[in-house]
A and B are shown apart, each in its own frame.
Chain A
């Protein structure tokens, strides 16, 4: 009996913990609404259309703007790129442009 009760108690504890986490999550989402409002404003100010998640290719940086309608599509999962596109790493000749940082006098 002792062991079963202890076990049941542990289960209850974990359940309560999980529920507490989920409730906390809901609350956090409500608090986040203010920040989302700010970000929404930024999106509308700059006219952004996509999340800055994948910057490796045009069709991943701006997923929603990918050339869905062009004859040779330029997007992941495009029938004419698949399956080669999923196996081949991008190894084209890349442009030679670059970024250099020039620090301000005082910061050095």
Chain B
């Protein structure tokens, strides 16, 4: 009996793990997704995709971290009454590996010579070492983490 209970527990754990990870996986933008801040299509810039995932599984796509955080800091607006509490997670594309990662795991580099589709960008880089390398290679000294970011620190266009 305890053996069977163990198996059952394992299966339940696996299932819940699977569903959890399924829910947390952000989808990539399709051809019609536009950035709500600048109105541009997002899909042509896979290296800049940024997305806010809400708790109801809906997603908003942005063509760069800068636009995403502009939107994020402005919430709730009269067009979008959702609050920041309704956000499940924010995903940004790591510059070096081109993979979407949770914003909390990423460093944001300000004032580099790498420009996004909307000009100056906050470039997301995973790992402290890589972030320092990026800052050195691309002429920046300003490395931020997510909780250090304020609306004033967002780069101008």
Q: A contacts B directly in the complex (CB < 8 Å)?
A: no
- A residues near B (Cβ < 8 Å) are none
- B residues near A (Cβ < 8 Å) are none
